[in-house]
Amino acid sequence: MRILALVPGGIGDQILFFPTLDDLKRHYPDAQIDVVVEPRAKGAYRVSKTVNETILFDFKGSNSLADWGNLLGVIRDREYDIALSLGQRWGIGFLLWLAGIKTRIGYAGNAASEALLTRTVRLHQEQYAADMYHDLLKGLDIVTPTPELAVSVPTKDLEWADAERKRLGIQGGGYVLIHGGASELSRLKGIDKIYPVASWQKIVQDFQQRQPDLAIVVVKGPEDDGFVAELVKACPAVKVTAPDNIGQLVAMIAGASLMLCTDSGPMHLAIAAQTFTLALFGATDPDKLLPKSERVSSIKSPTGAIADITPTMVLDRVWGS
């Protein structure tokens, strides 16, 4: 059996879809499961234990008929038995119908798209996103609780993290990991995810005063140069790690005592790694992005602006926990 999932969105969306993929594998252990994802999200599948192949397609791009035709050809050649689609666009349903996939499952709500699907499930957008995605399995008569987020880190990435902790001088003890960046796409969309460096500085200084032997490590991603440089300038004792891929990032997260972050892909990775996580939210509803867990906590801005979360609010939550 061959199963295809079409999963638009970034790294976080892919990680939130992992439980659905893992449950598919449990129910169809001999199936090959492939995904169609945007190029920016391909890296997530480095830490997937379920997916065989990633097929790249820019769902949000200005795709020509040739682009759609190429995707159709790839899908048709693989002769998939089942397809799951997170999107509700008519074009996706039409694509899956043209590909001749026998079982085509998606969300109800778009009459044109529904006509091209063989089964639909109700879309419950008010719930935790991983549960919302997992609902698609009801189209296969799979009605089970959503598994926890989980990742599988390659051995060479675990070895890299061991060497990185040694380089940073923290191999013998715990550390607090900070991820305060945001993707370029978020910036372009005007989504408020950057917590001010001045506020991070007060948080770091409080940690250093209370626990001077506890290392503070900031994650530097490809788009975080400015944020990290400013934070290091304000807090020279902060250590910097720059993983080359998501496997290395997860390995560093897994070794941390605490992850402090904003709403981001690394937040979901921290949850999957079962690291204690405190996430800061601006206007976004944390209930839709975080599971109910003793290891996960969040602070939502009282005004919708993430900058209005005070350092005191963060520190009270940290030390109060």
Domain boundaries, the chain: 2-140, 155-320
Domain 155-320 annotated CATH 3.40.50.2000? yes
Q: Among 148, 112, 117, 146, which residue's Cα sits nearest to residue 6?
A: 117
Angstrom distance (rounded) from CA 282 to CA 263: 8
Q: Among 102, 49, 101, 51, which residue's Cα sits nearest to residue 74?
A: 101
8 Å CB contact between 113 and 90: yes
Same fold flag, 2-140 and 155-320? yes
pLDDT in tens, the chain (321 residues): 999 999 999 999 999 999 999 999 999 999 999 999 999 999 999 999 999 999 999 998 888 999 999 999 999 999 999 999 998 788 899 999 999 999 999 999 878 778 899 999 999 999 999 999 999 999 999 999 999 999 999 999 999 999 999 999 997 778 999 998 665 555 555 566 789 999 999 999 999 999 999 999 999 988 889 999 999 999 999 999 999 999 999 999 999 999 999 999 999 999 999 999 999 999 999 999 999 999 999 999 999 999 999 999 999 999 986
* Rounded (10°) angle between helices 197-210 and 225-234: 50
Q: Right CATH number for 2-140 from 3.50.50.60, 3.40.50.300, 3.40.50.10490, 3.40.50.2000?
A: 3.40.50.2000
What pLDDT score does 111 carry?
Answer: 81
Q: Among 175, 153, 178, 155, which residue's Cα sits nearest to residue 166?
A: 175
What pLDDT score does 193 carry?
Answer: 79
What pLDDT score does 194 carry?
Answer: 87
What pLDDT score does 191 carry?
Answer: 64
Q: Per residue, what are the HEC states of the chain?
A: CEEEEECCCCHHHHHHHHHHHHHHHHHCCCCEEEEEECHHHHHHHHHCCCCCEEEECCCCCCCCHHHHHHHHHHHHHHCCCEEEECCCCHHHHHHHHHCCCCEEEEECCCHHHHCCCCEEECCCCCCCHHHHHHHHHHHHCCCCCCCCCCCCCCHHHHHHHHHHHHHHCCCCCCEEEEECCCCHHHHHHCCCCCCCHHHHHHHHHHHHHHCCCCEEEEECCCCCHHHHHHHHHHCCCCEEECCCCHHHHHHHHHCCCEEEEECCHHHHHHHHCCCCEEEEECCCCHHHCCCCCCCEEEEECCCCCHHHCCHHHHHHHHHHC
What pLDDT score does 84 carry?
Answer: 97
Residue type, 41: A
Q: Which two tokens stand for residue 96?
A: 């899956």
